[in-house]
């Protein structure tokens, strides 16, 4: 479509102003996290340009975080998220492969069921489920934290859709050459499926990284607290060090951001598979 | 299959929810409880205002950022980035920004408006939580709407332009009608998410001031973990599940129609 020059400038201005406005709070968090303790407040009352430029800042808040409960929480978060990705894919890949390549009775029903169940948001059943986990003695344990995140219907869905798109001739040829179903999956299909694996892995990672309610209910002792819980607890202490909280907020946000930056293509492709193009 | 185990897990929890209610006493209590009425009212008001607002704003962003603009990828990323921020962090960031001497009031003062109490006022606390949720969700839903926009054939616009249709006319006669499906998908998915808002209430307001932010998830949490009334809490979960099941059923139908 052709645009006049003034319309072009107007659009650019609108896009720049509105998207910077959305991004601004995050930038402010980054800058304020460089101000020791609660001293960032002096740049917002009254508002000064130093609230948005980290001149004269230091990393003392980040150093402070290293010695607190947050560092352990971060370690736990990495462990739990890593386990979720590995084990979650180990479940989702065979399930998706079965749903994509095996003809069995009731396949449609099973698939519809997987989708339906995955649409029930996990948080809604987290509270009753947590009392069940209590009965099973799984509270305050890593299996308790990881287990519910493993069954990710969306990851199965994304992988299945991708597997369906792999040409039948390839897998047929593999079978003619004497590869079994499992070997076909491992040697032929998976090497082709990197984008879908990354997309599904991101979904598993984000579902765990952004969780709050479940880790709050299950990871109760300080040794098993995840980073978001540790951070939220910092904010309820008697004397709140907001600088440290902002630094922790930045750390927790920047990790998924960097991952999304690297894997944006695969992730958004997976998103549009789950959402719109059934 | 392993997924079946996982699914049975989720179903076990459901049956757990329904075996513990021992008669309808808990439901009767719940239905007659003025506290629960106010929880339902607050949750409904929150959802009825927040979700359409998110859909409208994310559609507006999608429309703007699908135009031909220099550095459009950068602008899109700036809007999307908050969606990567975990919910707890969104809460903590905004509680700092909405403090009496925080960023938002500083900006308000700088442009000559009076500072606002935000989270500490019964009139503004729910609105403040809505801002947090919307900020964390916008970019995510924008991606879906942009994907929907890409599916609209360019030839429709060309034909309309030949017929002399202006920008507004094309928006209301082509774009919005063809965006109906992605938009309703976003609305429903967004509603499910907003029914489950928990972290801001638990960390910041504890349902207050004056019960004005007592959303249903937090009320369930207090019933089960603070008051220790498991039965009433479970009954409340079942009520929430029924509401969500209706929403999910609509969503499922939408997706099914999509496939045809």
In this prediction the ipTM stands at 0.81
| Number of domains chain A contains | 2
CB A63 within 8 A of CB A33: no
Relative orientation angle of helices A242-275 and A69-101, to the nearest 10 degrees: 0
Shared domain for A92 and A141, answered yes or no, is: yes
Shared domain for A114 and A36, answered yes or no, is: no
Taking all residues of chain B, what is their mean pLDDT, rounded to a whole number?
79
User: Does the beta-carbon distance from B64 to A275 stay under 8 Å?
Assistant: no
Percentage of chain A surpassing pLDDT 70?
Answer: 91
Mutation for testing the B interface, residue in A13, A17, A20, A44 having most B CBs under 10 Å: A44
Shared domain for A194 and A249, answered yes or no, is: yes
Tell which residue, B244, B192, B236, has the closest CA to residue B218.
Answer: B236
Kindly compute the dihedral angle of the four CA atoms of residues A164, A170, A171, A176, in this order, to the nearest 10 degrees.
160
CB B163 within 8 A of CB B27: no
Is pLDDT above 90 for B57? yes
Is pLDDT above 80 for B66? yes
Chain B residue closest to A130 (CA)?
Answer: B13
User: Does the beta-carbon distance from B203 to A235 stay under 8 Å?
Assistant: yes
pLDDT band at residue B171 under the 50/70/90 scheme: confident
Domain end, chosen from A59, A83, A99, is at A59
Shared domain for A213 and A191, answered yes or no, is: yes
Give, in order, the Cα–Cα distances in Å from B28 to each of A211, B22, B245.
33, 12, 21
At B40, list the tokens: 């339902």
**Angle at alpha carbon of residue B207, lines to B202 and B211, rounded to 5°:** 175
Is pLDDT above 70 for A215? yes
CB atoms within 10 A of CB B94: 26
Chain A: nearest CA to B173, how far in angstroms?
17
Tell which residue, B108, B253, B237, has the closest CA to residue B184.
Answer: B253
| A residues 150-169 lying closer than 8 A (beta carbon) to B | 150-151, 156
Of A20, A47, A128, nearest to B110 by CB-CB distance is A47
At B183, list the tokens: 């938009």
DSSP string, B174-219: IIHHHTHHHHHHHHHHHHHHHHT--HHIIIIITT-STTTT--HHHH
Percentage of chain B surpassing pLDDT 70?
Answer: 87
- Compute the average pLDDT of residues A64-83: 85
Convert the pLDDT of each residue in B88-121 to its tens digit: 889 888 888 888 777 888 888 878 787 778 787 7
Give the per-residue pLDDT at B256: 65
Taking all residues of chain A, what is their mean pLDDT, rounded to a whole number?
81
Give, in order, the Cα–Cα distances in Å from B59 to each of A135, B176, B183, B255.
46, 9, 8, 20
CB A249 within 8 A of CB B91: no
Give the per-residue pLDDT at A239: 67
3-state secondary structure of A126: helix
Least confident of A75-79, A164-168, B85-89: A164-168
Q: What letter does residue A244 receive in the DSSP assignment?
A: H
Give the per-residue pLDDT at A275: 54
User: Does the beta-carbon distance from B106 to A44 stay under 8 Å?
Assistant: yes
CB atoms within 10 A of CB A18: 18
Chain B residue closest to A98 (CA)?
Answer: B1
Shared domain for A77 and A176, answered yes or no, is: yes
Chain B: nearest CA to A77, how far in angstroms?
12
- Compute the average pLDDT of residues B13-27: 52
Give the per-residue pLDDT at A277: 40
- For residue A98, the chain B residues in CB contact (below 8 A) are 1
DSSP string, A47-75: B-GGGTS-TT--SHHHHHHHTSHHHHHHH
| A residues 203-242 lying closer than 8 A (beta carbon) to B | 206, 209-210, 212-213, 216-217, 228-229, 231-232, 235-236, 242
- Compute the average pLDDT of residues A171-191: 81
Alpha-carbon A128 to chain mean position: 24
CB A151 within 8 A of CB B6: yes
- Compute the average pLDDT of residues B227-256: 77
- Compute the average pLDDT of residues A86-93: 90
CB B178 within 8 A of CB B150: no
CB A275 within 8 A of CB A205: no
Shared domain for A261 and A177, answered yes or no, is: yes
Shared domain for A195 and A247, answered yes or no, is: yes
Q: Does A96 touch chain B (CB under 8 A)?
A: no
DSSP string, B88-141: HHHHHHHHHHTSTTSHHHHHHHHTT-----GGGSTTTHHHHHHHHHHHHHHHHH
CB atoms within 10 A of CB A82: 13
Is pLDDT above 80 for A37? no
Give, in order, the Cα–Cα distances in Å from B198 to each of A110, A115, B205.
32, 24, 11
Shared domain for A208 and A159, answered yes or no, is: yes
Of B14, B17, B103, nearest to A25 by CB-CB distance is B103
B23-259 sits in which CATH class? mainly alpha
Q: Does B218 touch chain A (CB under 8 A)?
A: no
Q: Specify the higher pLDDT residue, B108 or A38.
A: B108
- CA A171/CA B81 separation, integer angstroms: 39
- CA A234/CA A240 separation, integer angstroms: 7
- Residue A44, φ and ψ in degrees, nearest 5: -105, -5
Selection from A60-64, B3-7, B99-103, B150-154 with the highest mean pLDDT:
B150-154
Is pLDDT above 80 for A59? no
- CA A142/CA A138 separation, integer angstroms: 8
- CA A247/CA A124 separation, integer angstroms: 31
Is pLDDT above 70 for B37? yes
Give the per-residue pLDDT at B7: 38
Tell which residue, B2, B80, B170, has the closest CA to residue A156.
Answer: B2
- For residue A127, the chain B residues in CB contact (below 8 A) are 220-221, 224, 233, 237
Shared domain for A29 and A141, answered yes or no, is: no
Q: Specify the higher pLDDT residue, A275 or B135.
A: B135
Is pLDDT above 80 for A82? yes
- CA A139/CA A219 separation, integer angstroms: 7
Is pLDDT above 60 for B29? yes
Chain A residue closest to B131 (CA)?
Answer: A22
Give the per-residue pLDDT at B54: 92
Shared domain for A52 and A90, answered yes or no, is: no
CATH number at residue A87: 1.10.3720.10
Put simply, whether the predicted model's pTM sits higher than 0.90 gets the answer no
Chain A: nearest CA to B32, how far in angstroms?
23
Q: What letter does residue A223 receive in the DSSP assignment?
A: G
Q: Domain residues for A35?
A: 5-59
User: Does the beta-carbon distance from B10 to A129 stay under 8 Å?
Assistant: yes
pLDDT band at residue A87 under the 50/70/90 scheme: very high
Domain end, chosen from A59, A79, A97, is at A59
End-to-end CA distance of chain A: give it in Å, rounded: 30
Give the per-residue pLDDT at B8: 39
Give the per-residue pLDDT at B257: 63
CB B92 within 8 A of CB A245: yes
- Using a 10 angstrom Cβ sphere, with 0-12 exposed, 13-18 middle and 19 or more buried, the burial of residue A98 is buried
User: Does the beta-carbon distance from A151 to B6 stay under 8 Å?
Assistant: yes
Shared domain for A52 and A78, answered yes or no, is: no
Convert the pLDDT of each residue in A112-127 to its tens digit: 888 777 777 788 788 8
Convert the pLDDT of each residue in A129-171 to its tens digit: 887 787 787 878 888 888 888 888 888 888 888 888 888 888 8
pLDDT band at residue B56 under the 50/70/90 scheme: very high
């Amino acid at each position: 479509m052709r645009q006049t020059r003034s319309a072009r400038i107007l659009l650019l201005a609108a896009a720049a102003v509105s998207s910077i406005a959305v991004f601004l709070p995050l930038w402010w968090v980054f800058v304020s996290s460089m101000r020791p303790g609660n001293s960032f407040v002096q740049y917002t009352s009254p508002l000064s340009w130093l609230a948005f430029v980290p001149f004269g800042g230091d990393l003392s808040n980040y150093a402070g975080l290293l010695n607190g409960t947050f560092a352990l929480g971060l370690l736990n978060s990495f462990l739990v998220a890593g386990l979720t990705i590995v084990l979650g894919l180990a479940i989702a890949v065979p399930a998706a492969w079965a749903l994509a390549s095996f003809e069995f009775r009731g396949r449609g029903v099973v698939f519809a069921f997987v989708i339906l169940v995955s649409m029930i948001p996990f948080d809604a059943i987290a509270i009753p489920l947590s009392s069940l986990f209590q009965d099973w003695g799984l509270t305050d344990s890593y299996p308790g934290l990881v287990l519910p995140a493993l069954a990710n219907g969306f990851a199965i869905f994304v992988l299945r859709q991708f597997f369906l798109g792999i040409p039948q001739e390839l897998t047929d040829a593999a079978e003619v050459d004497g590869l079994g179903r499992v070997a076909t999956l491992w040697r032929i299909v998976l090497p082709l499926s990197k984008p879908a694996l990354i997309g599904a892995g991101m979904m598993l990672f984000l579902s765990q990284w952004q969780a709050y309610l479940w880790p709050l209910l299950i990871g109760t002792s300080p040794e098993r607290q995840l980073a978001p819980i540790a951070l939220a607890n910092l904010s309820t202490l008697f004397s709140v060090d907001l600088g440290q909280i902002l630094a922790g907020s930045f750390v927790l946000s920047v990790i998924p951001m960097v991952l999304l930056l690297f894997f944006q293509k695969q992730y958004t492709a997976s998103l549009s598979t789950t959402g719109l193009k059934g | 299959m392993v997924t079946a185990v996982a699914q049975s897990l989720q179903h076990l929890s459901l049956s757990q929810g329904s075996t513990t209610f021992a008669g309808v006493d808990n439901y009767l209590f719940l239905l007659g409880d003025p506290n629960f009425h106010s929880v339902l009212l607050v949750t409904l008001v929150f959802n009825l205002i927040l979700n359409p607002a998110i859909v409208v704003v994310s559609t507006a962003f999608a429309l703007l950022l699908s135009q031909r603009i220099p550095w459009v990828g950068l602008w899109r990323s700036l809007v999307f980035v908050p969606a990567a921020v975990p919910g707890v962090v969104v809460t903590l960031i905004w509680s700092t920004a909405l403090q009496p001497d925080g960023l938002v009031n500083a900006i308000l003062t700088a442009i000559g408006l009076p500072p606002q109490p935000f989270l500490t006022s019964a009139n503004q606390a729910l609105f403040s939580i809505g801002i947090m949720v919307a900020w964390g969700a916008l970019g995510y839903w924008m991606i879906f709407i942009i994907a929907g926009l890409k599916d609209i054939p360019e030839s429709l616009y060309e034909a309309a332009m030949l017929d002399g249709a202006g920008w507004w006319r094309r928006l209301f006669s082509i774009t919005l009608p063809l965006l109906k499906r992605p938009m309703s998908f976003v609305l429903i998915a967004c509603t499910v998410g907003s029914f489950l808002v928990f972290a801001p209430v638990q960390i910041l307001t504890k349902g207050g001031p004056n019960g004005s932010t007592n959303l249903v998830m937090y009320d369930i949490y207090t019933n089960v973990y603070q008051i220790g009334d498991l039965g009433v809490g479970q009954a409340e979960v079942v009520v929430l599940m029924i509401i969500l099941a209706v929403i999910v059923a609509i969503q499922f139908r939408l997706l099914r129609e999509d496939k045809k």
